[in-house]
Amino acid sequence: MTKILKDSWILSSLFLASVVSLSGCGNKFVGVEYKDLSSGAHYTPVVVYKASSSATAAAGATSSEATGQEATSAGGTGTLRGRIELTGNMAPLPLLHGKGAEVKDAAVCAVVDIPDQTIVTKDGGLANVFIYLRKPPKVTGGNVGEASIIFDQKNCVFKPHAMIMRVGQTVKILNSDGVAHNTHTFGQKNPQFNSIVSPNDAVGVPLIYKKAEQDPISVVCDIHPWMKGYHLPVDHPFAAISAEDGSFEIKDLPAGKHEFKVWHEAGGLIEKALVVTIKPGDNDPLTVKVSPAQLGK
Amino acid sequence: MMFRATFLSTLPRPSRMGFPSVLLCGLALFHLGCGPGPQAEFKFRDSTVDLIGDANREVKKTLKDNFGTPQTLVAWERFPVEYGGVKGAVTSIGEDKSLVVTVDGDPKMIQQKDPLIWISGSLVGEKNATSATVKSFDPESKKLVLEGAAVAAVGDRFAVDFGKDLQDGRKIYMKNCMHCHGVSGDGAGPTGEFLNPRPRDYRNGTFKFTSTRTGEKPNRDDLDRIVRYGIPGTYMPSFLLLGDHETAVVVEYVRWLSIRGEFEKRLVAELASDYSKTAINDAASKAEAAYKEKVKNGEAAEKAPSQSTARQNATNEFKKYFTEDYPAAIEETANLLAEYWNRGQEAESVVVPSVHRVNDTPESRERGRLLYLSDKTKCYTCHGVTGRGDGSATEDFWPKPNSSEKFSKRGLHDEWGNQLKPRNLTLGQYRGGRRPVDLFRRVYAGIKGTPMPAFGGTALKDDEIWDLVNYVMSLPYTEKQPSPAASSHGNVAKREEKSAH
SS3 sequence, A128-185?
CCEEEECCCCCCCCCCCCCCEEEEEEECCEEECCEEEEECCCEEEECCCCCCCEEEEE
Which pLDDT score, from 0 to 100, does residue A63 have? 38
pLDDT at A17 over 80: no
Partner A contacted by B453 (CB < 8 A): yes
Q: Which of B174-188, B368-382, B471-485 shows the lowest per-residue confidence on average (mean pLDDT)? A: B471-485
Chain A residues in contact with B451 by the CB 8 A cut-off are 182, 184, 194, 222
pTM attached to this predicted model: 0.85
DSSP state of A261: E
pLDDT at B491 over 90: no
Q: Show the 3-state SS of B80-121.
A: CCCCCCEEEEEEEECCCCCEEEEECCCHHHCCCCCEEEECCC
pLDDT band for B284, please (50, 70, 90 cuts). confident
Do the beta carbons of residue B169 and residue B250 sit within 8 Å? Answer: yes
Q: How far apart are CA A106 and CA B491, in angstroms?
A: 11
Taking phi first (over 0 means left), then psi (-120 to 50 degrees means alpha), and beta for anything else, what does residue B68 get? left
Identify the CA nearest to B26 among candidates A25, A19, A29.
A19
DSSP state of A29: H
User: Which of A171, A181, A222 is best to mutate for the B interface (most B CBs within 10 A)?
Assistant: A222
Do the beta carbons of residue A115 and residue A163 sit within 8 Å? Answer: no
Q: How far apart are CA A223 and CA B452, in angstroms?
A: 10
Q: Are strands A77-86 and A286-290 parallel, antiparallel or unpaired?
A: parallel
Identify the CA nearest to A191 among candidates B268, B431, B204, B351.
B204
Identify the CA nearest to B482 among candidates B370, B399, B340.
B370
Q: Do B75 and A197 touch (CB under 8 A)?
A: no
CA geometry: angle A106, A108, A114, nearest 5 deg: 75
Which pLDDT score, from 0 to 100, does residue A57 have? 41
Segment 259-288 of chain B within 8 Å of chain A by CB: 266, 269-270, 273-274, 279, 282-283, 286
CB pairs under 8 A between A and B: 302
H-type helices in B244-276, by residue range? 244-275
Which pLDDT score, from 0 to 100, does residue A55 have? 44
Partner A contacted by B154 (CB < 8 A): no
Contacts of A177 (CB under 8 A, 6+ apart): A105, A108, A109, A153, A154, A155, A156, A199, A200
Instruction: Say which residue, A199 or A135, is predicted with more confidence.
Output: A199
Q: Do B74 and A220 touch (CB under 8 A)?
A: no
Q: Do A41 and B175 touch (CB under 8 A)?
A: yes
Partner A contacted by B490 (CB < 8 A): yes
Partner A contacted by B129 (CB < 8 A): yes
- SS3 at position B446: coil
pLDDT band for B329, please (50, 70, 90 cuts). very high
Residue positions counted in chain B: 501
Instruction: Say which residue, B162 or A92, is predicted with more confidence.
Output: B162
Closest Cβ–Cβ partner in B33, B129, B397 for A47: B129
Partner A contacted by B40 (CB < 8 A): yes
Q: Per-residue b/e over B157-186, b at no fewer than 16 CB within 10 Å?
A: bbbbbbbbbbbbbbbbbbebbbebbbbbbb
pLDDT at B32 over 80: no
pLDDT band for A8, please (50, 70, 90 cuts). low
Which pLDDT score, from 0 to 100, does residue A18 have? 53
- SS3 at position B364: helix
Distance (Å) from the alpha carbon of B289 to chain A's nearest alpha carbon: 6
pLDDT at B134 over 80: yes
Q: Per-residue b/e over B9-37, b at no fewer than 16 CB within 10 Å?
A: eeeeeeeeeebeebeebbeebbeeeeeee
Chain B residues in contact with A262 by the CB 8 A cut-off are none
Closest Cβ–Cβ partner in A3, A104, A294 for B489: A104
Q: How far apart are CA B55 and CA A67, in angstroms?
A: 20
- What integer is the mean pLDDT of A188-202? 92
Identify the CA nearest to B375 among candidates A177, A229, A99, A202.
A177
User: Which of A43, A44, A48 is best to mutate for the B interface (most B CBs within 10 A)?
Assistant: A48
Distance (Å) from the alpha carbon of A281 to chain B's nearest alpha carbon: 31
Distance (Å) from the alpha carbon of A105 to chain B's nearest alpha carbon: 5
Q: How far apart are CA A98 and CA B326, in angstroms?
A: 49
Do the beta carbons of residue A132 and residue A232 sit within 8 Å? Answer: yes
pLDDT band for A65, please (50, 70, 90 cuts). very low
Distance (Å) from the alpha carbon of B160 to chain A's nearest alpha carbon: 11
Q: Compare all CA atoms of chain A with the CA of B326 and give the residue at the minimum distance.
A: A60
